[in-house]
Amino acid sequence: AQTVTQSQPEMSVQEAETVTLSCTYDTSENNYYLFWYKQPPSRQMILVIRQEAYKQQNATENRFSVNFQKAAKSFSLKISDSQLGDTAMYFCAFIDSNYQLIWGAGTKLIIKP
Amino acid sequence: DSGVTQTPKHLITATGQRVTLRCSPRSGDLSVYWYQQSLDQGLQFLIQYYNGEERAKGNILERFSAQQFPDLHSELNLSSLELGDSALYFCASAAFLSSYNEQFFGPGTRLTVL
C-alpha cells in the first residue's frame, strides 16, 4: 500500500528563521507526483509546491523549496525567512496512478514573533 | 478564493439522519474529488468523478454516495449518520485527469452529528 509519513507532529520557529518539514513516502511506482499543501486556521487547503518524480531538479516557489530524494523516498519542504502567515498545518501528499491523493498526517507549524 | 464553492458551510444534525453536501467546481474543471478530514487528521479520499462518471473510489462507506450532474456540480449524500461521521468534508476540482493537475479545494462543509 502507498503511504505518506510525516514524522513531526508539531514544529515551532522564530519569525525569519528557516524551517524544514520532513516527509517520506512509500510506493512501487516510478512516475508520480508529490505535493505540499498548507492548511491555515481558516481550514482552506492551499497548494504550496509540487514535484514531478522524473525531474531531478528540486522545485522552488519563492521562499518555499523542496529537497526531493527519490531513492530515499524523501520529500522535505524548506521554508526560508519564515513569516507569521506561514503558521498552518502542512500536509505532504502523493498522487497515485488512480489520481488519488494519499495524505500524510500533517505537521503543525507555528511561527513565533 | 479557489473558485470551488461548497454548501452549506456548517451542518448540524442528529444520528440516523441523512444530509446532502453540494459542490460546484471551478468553471471548466471536469474532475471533482471528495475528501473527509476528521479532527486534526489528514484527508481521506472518498470518491472522484470525471465528467459525470465515477472514476475512482477510496475509503467511502456504503452509507455514503455521490454523483456528478451534467452541469458538473456534485453532491455527496451521507445517510444513517453516526457520531463518527462528524468531520470537515472537502470538495476539490481539477481540469483533467492528469496527475500533475493541481486540485483546487473548496472551503469545506463542517458536519457535526449529535
Residue with grid cell 504550496, as numbered in its chain: A48
Taking CA–CA distances from B57, the nearest residue in chain A reads A100
Cis status of the peptide bond prior to B8, with omega within 30 of 0 = yes
Nearest to residue A106, comparing CAs of B5, B58, B103, B38? B38
Burial B53-76 (b: 16+ CB within 10 A, else e): eebbebebeeebebebeeebebbb
Taking CA–CA distances from B97, the nearest residue in chain A reads A99
Per-residue pLDDT tens digits for A55-82 = 889 999 999 999 999 999 999 999 999 9
3-state DSSP percent of chain A in helix, strand and coil, to 5: 5, 50, 45
Residues in B touching A98 (Cβ below 8 Å): 48, 55-56
Q: How far apart are CA A57 and CA A75, in angstroms?
A: 12
Residues in B touching A103 (Cβ below 8 Å): 42-45
Q: How far apart are CA A4 and CA B112, in angstroms?
A: 28
Per-residue pLDDT tens digits for A12-34 = 999 999 999 999 999 888 888 89
A110 residue type, one letter: I
CB contacts under 8 A, A 8-47 vs B, are 32-33, 42-47
Q: Does A98 touch chain B (CB under 8 A)?
A: yes
B24 residue type, one letter: S
**How far is B80 from chain A, CA to nearest CA, in Å?**
26
Question: Which pLDDT score is estimated for B69?
Answer: 96
Per-residue pLDDT tens digits for B87-98 = 999 999 998 766
**How far is A82 from chain B, CA to nearest CA, in Å?**
23
Nearest by CB to B48, which of A47, A91, A100?
A: A100
Residues in A touching B59 (Cβ below 8 Å): none
pLDDT in tens, chain B (114 residues): 889 999 999 999 999 999 999 999 999 999 999 999 997 677 899 999 999 999 889 889 999 999 999 999 999 999 999 999 999 999 999 987 666 677 899 999 999 999
